[in-house]
Amino acid sequence: MLPPNSVVYTGCVGDDELAEQLKAANKREGLHEVYQVKNGEKTGACAVIITGHHRFVDFLPFLEFLAKGFILQARW
């Protein structure tokens, strides 16, 4: 198990209940978060499938709203 805040969860969220649920889950699991928040928008979703060493991630609609350069500017 990694120490708390050694994993960063980042992306773009809306200012809605789903974003609040995500933030609460991150805090509960000890993840550090760096979000770009888009006021007036809804948070998208991500589907993750992990089987053994195989990984599949599909980012749904909100990835298109992530501003270019946000990841490079984020404070990790």
Q: pLDDT of 16-74, one tens digit each?
A: 999 999 999 999 988 899 999 999 988 877 767 787 887 767 666 555 666 666 666 76
| 46 part of a folded domain | yes
Which domain, by its residues, includes 50?
A: 8-67
| 37 part of a folded domain | yes
- What is the structure's pLDDT at 40? 93
| 58 part of a folded domain | yes
> Is it the case that residue 76 has pLDDT exceeding 60?
no
| 14 part of a folded domain | yes
Q: How many domains does the chain have?
A: 1
| 2 part of a folded domain | no
| 44 part of a folded domain | yes
Instruction: Label residue 62 exposed, middle or buried (CB < 10 Å: 0-12, 13-18, 19+).
Output: buried
**CA 44 – CA 14 distance, rounded (Å):** 8
* Tokens 């809605």, residue located: 16
Q: Output the pTM of the full model.
A: 0.61
- What is the structure's pLDDT at 24? 95
**CA 18 – CA 35 distance, rounded (Å):** 13
- What is the structure's pLDDT at 54? 77
